[in-house]
Amino acid sequence: MNNSEKISLHGRSLLNRRGFLSTAGLSTAGLALTSMLSADGLLANDKSHTVSGQTPLRPVIDPNQPYLPRPSHFDSKAKRVLVVYLPGAVSHIDTFDYKPELAKLHGKKPPGLPAVTFEGPSGNIAKPFWDFKPRGETGKMVSDLLPNLANQVDDFCFIHSMTTDTSAHPQGENFMNTGFTMEGFPSFGSWVTYALGTENQELPAFVAINDPRGLARSGKNNFGNGFLPAAFQGTDFSAKNPPNNLHRPGSLTKDFDRKTVDLLQRLNARHLQQYPGDANLAGRIASYELAGKMQMSVPDVMDLSGETAATLKAYGVEGGSELRGHYARNCILARRLLEKGVRVVQLFNGSDPAGGNGITNWDSHSDIKKTHAMQAEIMDQPTAALIADLKQRGMLEDTLVVWATEFGRMPFLQANGTGRDHNPGAFTCFLTGAGVKRGFSYGESDEFGFKAAKDKTTVYDFNATLLHLMGLDHQRLTFYHNGLERRLTNVHGSVVKDILV
């Protein structure tokens, strides 16, 4: 047989389904009625289906080419988004939220603070474990814990008035990443992918780069598709580990692998003759061609050998802890993915706590001085280098960068302890890049950093703002599921307009 070339071309032509369908002679009227993902027999834009009184804007998705780029709801600078997620809860009062009052009250227990918090009885106020200094031209006060990120505060937009609904990690992670504390809702990344598809058809639309130590506490929930189609789940790989089953079986040469695919596509082409113009069959044929391309493009993007020594050094690949080295490589991978047009990259800095208390993520119930320092050593330099690299390449102009954690930590210690308990009342996240003010701080926590005091920002507001920055209306980006037009923001949230450029 010498038609393998021909079949490959045939397969490729299927990628352009419109062209394929016209050659297959299928009437477009029939096509228009074939079930679109999520449509469920309901008419899109049917007003009666919305809870908030807004008209839903369901993306029109061809189930067989779910990743084709789709228009945003309105113009936005951000074309892609990087979320650096820090499981375990970073202490805002030891990093970016400067509270001089804590030094004065150190060792005291002022009235009005709770007797019991998440892990149990509370102790006395503790001043920050690191010194704060003014940084950059803005003079933003940042602690010595994160010296590299501190150097770049002029680019950052802080939100100091974040609050959440839960003081438990898994629910907190769910809330930040899926908009609900309960299990099983689609993640932010899957919503964005569902809405916008992706620019590069040869790489996954949404990549979750997990920490070298493993998945965070909510596991796959943080990048899962919930009730959205599986097409929109984050693909899990890192600089070290490729996606599941990417590579052909060890027992097969490339040639024979290709020949199997060709045989498959010949079988499929014959089968298709019995169902002329069937879009579902054609879509599945195309998916095998796409998989073949991914087998080339994913190893390519994972290959850091072309990175300069200067880049490796800047990211801190060598010279630090082994974990920093791994995380730094993941940071470089994140940049490479974004460069190639991957829509959403979610980069984790921390895992579940199976490895021991405080050293697998930012959770610091005891000896915060030591455990936060260990995490910071891993996170600070590579993350700062990643942001600087994106800036230097001009990518911050159209990439949104989010640095987020699930809650803050308490201004006081745990009773008879050396660590800080969970604080859902106030915490800090920051954004930078496309569409966001630079060198700006929004909202305030109270004098202790105990509760959000000014311009309180809920997780709903935060997520509404992220979607807005991606050109999406959080009230109208919906998916019909069990009787509701579901949204990332449930029925809440307003865009924090003050931080937008």
Partner 1 sequence: MKQMHLVATLICVTSMTSAAVAQEIDFATDIAPIFESSCLHCHGEDEQEAGLRLDSRVNMLRGGDSGLATIVPGKPKKSYLMDVVNHVDEEMAMPPDEDKIAQEEIALLEKWIAAGANWPGQMEEVAREKSDHWSFQPVTRPAAPETKSNDSPIDAFLLNKLSERGLAFSKRAKPRALIRRASIVLTGLAPSPEEVQDFVAASEEDGAGAYASLVERLLESPHFGERWAQHWLDVIRWAETNGSESNMYRKNAWIYRDYVTRAFNNDKPYDRFLFEQLAGDTIGQGEATGYMVAGPHVPIATVGQEPTARRQARADRLDEVLQTVGASAMGMTIGCARCHNHKFDPISIKDYYAMTAVFEDIEYGSRFPELADDHPQEVRGAEIRAEIAKLREQLAEYGPWEEHWSAYRDVYFAPVTTKEVRIQFLQKSCFVDELELFGPQNPEVNFALASSGTTLDTDEEMIYNKNKGVSRVNDGNFGTESFAAKTQEGEDRKPWVVLTFTQPREINRMTISSNREDFFDTEYLEKLNTGHVANYKLEVKDSDGKWQQVAATPQYNNLNKKNKGRAKVMAKVQTLITQLYDEGPKIGFVGRFVEPAKSFVLGRGSPENPRDEVFAAGLEELSGDLGLDATASGDERRVAFANWLIDKQNPLTARVAVNRIWHHVFGKGIVTTTSDFGKAGAPPTHPELLDWLAAELMEPSTSSQSANWSMKHLIRSMVMSKAFQQSSHPQEKALAVDGDAALLWRYPPKRVDAEVIRDSILQASDCLDDTIGGKGYRIHNVKKRYAQWEVVDNHSSDTWRRMLYQERFRRVDDGIFTAFDFPDCGQVKAKRPVSTTPLQALNLMNSDFVVNQSQRIAQRALKDTEGDKALAVDRCFELLLGRPPEKQEREDCLAMVKEKDLSLVCRALVNSNEFAFVP
Which of positions 460-499 make contact with partner 1 (CB under 8 A)?
480-485
Least CB distance to partner 1 at residue 295 (A): 7
Residues 100-129 that bind partner 1 (CB under 8 A): 116-121
> Rule CB under 8 A: is residue 68 a binding residue for partner 1?
no
Burial of 32 per CB tally in 10 Å (0-12, 13-18, 19+):
exposed
Q: Phi and psi at residue 371, in whole multiples of 5°?
A: -70, -40
| Chosen residue from 291, 296, 318, 319 binding partner 1 by CB under 8 A | 291
Residue 98: name the closest of 145, 29, 30, 57 by CA.
145
The mark string for 245-274 relative to partner 1 (x by CB under 8 A, - otherwise) is xxxxx-xx---xx-xxx-xx-xxx-xxx-x
Region binding partner 1 by CB under 8 A among candidate stretches 92-100, 105-113, 287-295, 459-467 = 287-295
Least CB distance to partner 1 at residue 195 (A): 16
Return d(Cα 235, Cα 220) in angstroms, integer.
Answer: 10
- Residues pairing with 81 in the sheet: 344, 400
Cβ proximity to partner 1, 288 vs 398, nearer residue: 288
Cβ proximity to partner 1, 61 vs 82, nearer residue: 61
Least CB distance to partner 1 at residue 289 (A): 8
Return d(Cα 409, Cα 416) in angstroms, integer.
Answer: 16
Least CB distance to partner 1 at residue 261 (A): 8
Cβ proximity to partner 1, 40 vs 131, nearer residue: 40
Cβ proximity to partner 1, 191 vs 430, nearer residue: 191
Least CB distance to partner 1 at residue 452 (A): 13
Provide the total of helices (H) and of strands (E) in the chain, helices listed first.
Answer: 13, 19
Q: Do 479 and 227 touch, CB atoms closer than 8 A?
A: yes
Residue 476: name the closest of 46, 184, 81, 179 by CA.
46
Side-chain-facing half-sphere of 308: CA atoms under 13 Å: 4
Least CB distance to partner 1 at residue 74 (A): 26
Least CB distance to partner 1 at residue 357 (A): 10
Region binding partner 1 by CB under 8 A among candidate stretches 43-51, 302-310, 333-341, 371-379 = 43-51
Locate tokens 């899109």: which residue?
44
Residues 304-363 that bind partner 1 (CB under 8 A): 352-354
Q: Which residues of 441-459 are buried (b: 16+ CB within 10 A; e: fewer)?
A: bbbbbbebbbbbbeebbbb
Cβ proximity to partner 1, 246 vs 500, nearer residue: 246
Least CB distance to partner 1 at residue 268 (A): 5
> Rule CB under 8 A: is residue 87 a binding residue for partner 1?
no
SS (H, E, C) 300-340: HHHCHHHCCHHHHHHHCCCCCCHHHHHHHHHHHHHHHHHHC
| Chosen residue from 227, 311, 373, 377 binding partner 1 by CB under 8 A | 227
Cβ proximity to partner 1, 60 vs 354, nearer residue: 354
3-class SS shares of the chain: helix, strand, coil, % to 5: 40, 15, 45
> Rule CB under 8 A: is residue 217 a binding residue for partner 1?
yes
Least CB distance to partner 1 at residue 26 (A): 7
The mark string for 231-250 relative to partner 1 (x by CB under 8 A, - otherwise) is x-x-xx------xxxxxxx-
The token duo for 143 is 């602690």
Residues 401-460 that bind partner 1 (CB under 8 A): 415, 422
Contacts with partner 1: how many residues (CB under 8 A)?
A: 108
Residue 486: name the closest of 40, 77, 173 by CA.
40
Residues 2-31 that bind partner 1 (CB under 8 A): 25-27, 29-31
| Chosen residue from 5, 75, 108, 230 binding partner 1 by CB under 8 A | 230
Residues 186-205 that bind partner 1 (CB under 8 A): 204
C-alpha angle 164-168-173 in degrees, rounded to nearest 5: 65
| Chosen residue from 294, 373, 388, 500 binding partner 1 by CB under 8 A | 294
Burial of 336 per CB tally in 10 Å (0-12, 13-18, 19+):
buried
Residue 494: name the closest of 464, 469, 453 by CA.
464
Least CB distance to partner 1 at residue 53 (A): 10
Least CB distance to partner 1 at residue 48 (A): 7
Provide the greatest CA pair distance for the chain.
85
